[in-house]
Each structure stands twice: as C-alpha cells, then as structure tokens.
Structure 1
C-alpha cells in the first residue's frame, strides 16, 4: 500500500495535534496554503494574478478533494523570459519540501528530436536499456509523500518535439505512465505538474509596444486581447487534446522598470544566503543598488539583474572575502563608477 508507513506516522501526529486548535481541517496534507501563498508573493515579483491561481489550487490540494484518477493539478505558466515562471516552481518546492531542488525537472529544450521520446518514457521492447527501464523521470520526487505532494516541472515545453509532447498525454490525463517495456509504471497522481512556455511572448511584446507611443500611450492594453494572443500561439503549437488536459493556464506579465529594485533585492538576498554559509554578511549602499539597476532591460527580466550581480558585485565580494579571512561583515558601495566592497569594522555602530 503506497505511503503505508507515512500514513501511520501521520496518523500519530494528527492524534497528537487534536487537542490543539489549528484553524485548519485535518487532512493527509500538512502544509498551510495561505502561508505558502504569502511566501510566494514575497519572493515572486509582479505576478499576483498567477500566484493567486496557484494559491487556489493549493487550497484544493490541502483540503484533499482533488480527483483520485489524475494528477493533483496541471498548470501551464506562460510568459516572456525572466518573469519568474521557473522560479515560482522552485520556490514552491522549497516551501513544501525544504529544498528548491526537491522536484523532478525535465528541460524540454533537450528533447527537440522525435527519437528523444524514448529518453523520457524509456526504450521500447527489444532496444538497448528497455529491460532496465531507464528514464529521465525521478520517481521518488514525482511520488512525493503521504503528507506532501510531489512536484514535476516540464520547462520550456514548446521546444520539445511533437512526439515527446504526445508521450505526455496519458501523464496529464490519468496520472500514470507505463514504460514501453511494460515492466514499470510511474505514478503522478500525488503530483503537482507545472509546464512553462515562452509561446506568444514576442507577439505580446509587439502588441504592448503599440501603447508606448502616439495617441495609444494614453490607453492601456486590453487584457482580453492579450489573452487572445497567447491562446492563438498556444493553439498553433499544441493539439486541442493536449491543451484540454491542462487545468490552469496562467499568464506571467513582463516586469516593468519600476520593479527593478525589488527584483534586485531578491537577488541580493540569494547572495546573502550564500554568504551566510561563509559566516559573512553584506550590506549595500543605495548608490550601488542604483548602479546595478541602471538601464534595466525588461526583455530579460530578473535574469538581467541576476547577471549584473554575478558580474559586478559577486567578484568584488569574493575578493574582499579572500583578502580578509577573519572578517564577517562587508559593505558594498559605488566608487568611481565601480562597486567596491570593504570590511565593516567590528566596533562600527550605525
């Protein structure tokens, strides 16, 4: 019986918790969907509508009223590069499992040829590797646990071949994938499945660009028109039978220049967490932050700022760390157009 040992342990925990009023109905899942949503909103910038839809899905999963004969949920995240699609799934994995890598991630851009379908679903009978049942899927991460859903990410979906896409139909529908050799079945029925795609991003940017000049600058782009553009791109690439298996199609918006500082703060926090592993901390001046945010390019989103942190700030921090092995506090500031990192004296008081 799947999850038998975990069910026994979970039941013991639930019995111990019964005297305490938690405010939530007890089900086999133990995460708090409201807390997860709040953390997602804190760490993913400018995508409130999409995150709210994910929060609604988590409510259904937490209540344990999802259908038994299919995945817990199938979400397609659509939008331009660098807006947080993949990061949303990684943050969700971290919040549910304590590790952003606790998910089965398939990079679909590596499966652009039809014969790569066997790498995903296993070799057919009679071919090398068919008996071993080798596949790109990580069954343990897909399975999750009795109290936590597994998380599966198919990244850059549109770059996979048509044959590879077709091989996923049964996964998205019944939640089961039987390998061609017939000796192994992978169960996705306790999984949240996410697919990401950049389809329609170029067409959408062209449409939105019309409202940045001339008399249209006084107007706002129509959300209905934007949805039609994305739906047209989706229908052009995928068959109706594939689209019909997706529960939620979520549109991620291009991040405006006004969000640059908030995006930078997220990247700085990532750097600070890495520095904490070296028993070091970092503060940064407003001028240095403005320098990193200069000429922010909306086309590349958060990746543009992450690249600047890696290229301009991280080397300066590394130089200071290596030069001052006993120091624990550092300060980054702008000097002569370049970021310089210095040690904060131990007796320094703000």
Structure 2
C-alpha cells in the first residue's frame, strides 16, 4: 500500500517488510487497538535475557576490547567475578543489555586509557580485571 504523511508526502510500501520492535510486556491485544493488531501479519515474542545470555554478551563485548588492546600487544585477563559484576551492572530490565557496552567502556576502557597515559601499563603487558568489594579493579 501507500502511506501519506501530514505534509502530503507519499511513500510506496509495495514489496516492503516492516519490522517493529517494542519492550512492552504483556499481550498486544491489551496494549493496542484490535484494528492495529489485525493489520500485523505476525508477532514474534522474545524471551527475557538469562544470566547465561548476559555472560555471553559480556564475552562478546570484551572480545572487542581485547582486539583493540591486542593492537598494542596488551593482554586482558578478566576474572569470573568481574564478568559477573559487569553483567549485573550492564543489565537494565527496561533496556536489556544495551547499557553493557557503556559500562565496559566506562569501568574498563576509560580506566585502561588513564593507566596507559600515566605509563603504568605499557605495550606487551597483561592487565587483570577483578571485582573487589563490588567494584571493578584493574591491576597491571
């Protein structure tokens, strides 16, 4: 079909697939008008993230950081306690795991940048990230 906006611009949606996402919980019929739901061909529901999912996502995000550090031949060891703390702090029920990348950047990436600038971490070293008293700790 076609869609016209408030300014009179028309868009042709022939052979188009629209994907709409939402974090809304519950049944779509209770949240949307039946007229709208009837126009949707299929509704795919996703399950909530589990702790295992979060651990896997932490691993993916840390792989990117490890790759950047490998350019300077800097190794990165992360304890399971640190991974758990990052997963806990990087998860928000409303946003899922989206905040995780920022948490890793702020708590590990930014701190490593400071240590590099201060000369406390040099090329060829390995740094260890651990969780101590509920805080991320980085040791060279």
TM-score range, shorter chain: 0.5 to 0.7
Unaligned runs of 5+ in 1: 1-112, 118-162, 174-193, 208-225, 344-350
Post-superposition shift, 1:335? Answer: 3.1
Tell me the SS of whatever aligns to 2:98. Answer: helix
Tell whether 2:108 aligns with 1:313.
yes
Change beyond 3 A, Cα 1:253–1:282: same
Matches of 2:35 and 2:64 in 1, distance apart? 37
Change beyond 3 A, Cα 1:289–1:236: same
Matches of 2:96 and 2:111 in 1, distance apart? 23
More helix by share: 1
Tell whether 2:92 aligns with 1:269.
no
Post-superposition shift, 1:236? Answer: 2.2
Aligned residues: 131
Change beyond 3 A, Cα 1:300–1:167: same
Matches within 5 A, 1:1-350: 114-115=6-7, 167-170=11-14, 172=15, 195-199=18-22, 201-202=23-24, 205=25, 207=26, 226=27, 229=29, 236=36, 240=39, 249=42, 251=44, 253-258=46-51, 259-294=53-88, 296-322=91-117, 323=119, 324-343=121-140
Unaligned runs of 5+ in 2: none
Query: TM-score, with normalisation over the residues of structure 1?
Result: 0.31
Post-superposition shift, 1:285? Answer: 0.9
Contact 1:254–1:301 at 8 Å: present in 2 too? no
Matches of 2:69 and 2:127 in 1, distance apart? 10
Partner of residue 150, structure 1: none
C-alpha RMSD over aligned residues: 3.5
Change beyond 3 A, Cα 1:271–1:234: farther
Matches of 2:33 and 2:67 in 1, distance apart? 39
Q: Which has the larger radius of gyration?
A: 1
Matches of 2:99 and 2:13 in 1, distance apart? 35
Contact 2:72–2:123 at 8 Å: present in 1 too? no
Contact 2:74–2:122 at 8 Å: present in 1 too? no
Post-superposition shift, 1:169? Answer: 0.9
Query: TM-score, with normalisation over the residues of structure 2?
Result: 0.67
Contact 2:72–2:124 at 8 Å: present in 1 too? no
Cα displacement string for residues 127-179 of structure 1 (whole angstroms, at most 9, x for unaligned residues): xxxxxxxxxxxxxxxxxxxxxxxxxxxxxxxxxxxx5xx51413x35xxxxxx
Structure 1 range deviating more: 300-309 or 252-261: 252-261
